Amino acid sequence: MPVILEAIIVSIAMIFVFGVAFLAIFFLAVTMAPIERGLSNMIWDSAAPKKPLPHSTKSSFKDFSTKH
């Protein structure tokens, strides 16, 4: 087999293997994207500052009896 033909075949094989590996990683990333998005939202929600509790005013017994 001539050397030039062998180089062409090896180059085509390397390009094909690169394409298959690229597609495999691409499909893995597409498959894992919803999981990553959910984890990212969970982390951002946990890092967000907590809202303070509403300030309760001092109430008297009369206020309690009107509410209940």
Per-residue pLDDT of the chain (68 residues; tens, 9 = 90+): 899 999 999 999 999 999 999 999 999 999 999 999 999 988 888 877 777 766 666 666 666 666 66
Going from the C-alpha of 6 to that of each of 10, 12, 13, 14, 48, the distances in angstroms are: 6, 10, 10, 12, 60
Token couple for 25: 């990683």
61 found inside a domain: no
Domain that includes residue 38, residue range: 22-47
65 found inside a domain: no
Structurally, the chain folds into a number of domains equal to: 1
Q: Which helix (H) or strand (E) holds 63?
A: helix 61-67
Q: What is the pLDDT of residue 47?
A: 79
31 found inside a domain: yes
Helices (H) and strands (E) in the chain, counts: 2, 0
Token couple for 63: 């206020």
pTM: 0.54
